[in-house]
Structure 1
Amino acid sequence: MARELERLNVEVGQLDALLITHEHADHVAGAGILSRRHGLPIYATAGTWQSLPSKFGAIDPAFRRVIEPGQNFYIGAIDVMPFAIPHDAAQPVGYAFEGRGAKVAVATDLGCLSEKWIEPLAGCDLLTIAPSLLAELQATEGYLPRKLDTAKAASAAVDKITVDEATFARMHAADRMASEKLAEGIAGFTKALETLEAMLSARLKELEG
């Protein structure tokens, strides 16, 4: 985790908290160490806390935050909404963040889509989701209460979305379907990673039209 922060040019001192989606090793590695070294609170569901691997280490009760799916909380001025997701873990969640007129959500391990699962994703200015679900997500706008606000996306300088190969590989290393889709060429486009960028950019243009 420390290496990832360094790669992103983010100092540990800039962090306010650590949010855990579920207990799998590729999602919690280094979180315990960062919390102990820098006094960072950790947010996770009760099921996740109970299922953390032993090597995660002990966390001071003062830094343990137990959250409930569907019950929002604040970190500074950011409104955080944890939402339940279907995944092979104890009590996994995704997170939606709202603040300063923007909404961002993270649901990289969302295994399938239904109205229940995508409701928290509606109205996002930026969304991180498994690429294997892009086509399915695009087909759900009939019952989404809000659509992607392209004006906000543009003002936030995310009208052009890019993905680098290293980040993509790390985010979806445990997602065999995503890896296969990448190898085949997502949604029938070319096999290059520019495919994902092209799909998202095309979607933004459609909404603008």
Structure 2
Amino acid sequence: MNQLDALKKFTTVVADTGDFLQMASFQPQDATTNPSLILKAVQKPEYRALLTDTVAQFQGRAPDEITDRLLVRFGCEILAIVPGRVSTEVDARLSFNSSATITRAERIIELYQAQGIHIDRVLIKVASTWEGIQAAAALERRGIHTNLTLLFSFCQAVACGQARVQLISPFVGRIYDWYKKSAGATWVEADNSGANDPGVKSVTEIYNYYKKFGIATEVMGASFRNVGQITALAGCDLLTISPELLATLAQSKAPLLRTLDAQAAQAIDLAPVNYDEASFRFALNQDAMATEKLAEGIRAFCTDAAKLDQLLLGN
């Protein structure tokens, strides 16, 4: 048995790509996309027709509507391949506007429903800002399920649990990147790998807290830099993995054992935590890594969203 098949025994495997033609061979349950992945995909010849067809069909509409329609086109293609759910992201430029995020999310869901896609097969991705979490809470109350992304800290995860969001995506690799860069020449890779990887430690803490207190929100590790980060989180509810790392797992016959366990987490001595807006903002501020990576992630997604706009306008 290869490592990918072994991992699927403990964890729901999700493909992290807009490249749906590449996806089928790995047989993931779900798939996630974001503006950067869609921008990358539409610049490939095999996906250009999706872009040109969408622009031609909705020429003269607002750029944000055309973008959403393109995202939904990709989502529908993905849902023809995966049996589960697709995550589609709200424009990151709305990350600090709860009401605009809700409006945009509702439109994306309506576009999916117009294509005959059931609401339960779509997760709306929203950045884990305070405003994004409040928007997600409102969407969940309306039956629209959410995936809270750009999540780097324990306080973000706790607030998402309080909001009863469907799923969170803690970013393993970007946490690792920050600590490695911060350590500079003092970084020792062997001392910061596997269970000691700072990104793995963060997701493990969140997973154990959720399971200890019966929080139903699903934990989906994301943004992996190497296979070791993935195997160290075997047993996590879900893991979203790039096609390159999925291929590496599929080619490896090395043993893979469960590392995260919900039953074991219930025996850990932990205290419950609650955040209101003020305490959330303070806790996030006190975490330099999470503050910097959240801001950086939003900026990067905003840049790629603007590039996608220009591609649509200039097509």
TM-score normalised according to structure 1 size: 0.40
Larger radius of gyration: 2
**In proportion to residue count, which structure has more strand?**
1
> Relative contact order (C-alpha < 8 Å, sep 6+): which is higher?
2
**In proportion to residue count, which structure has more helix?**
2
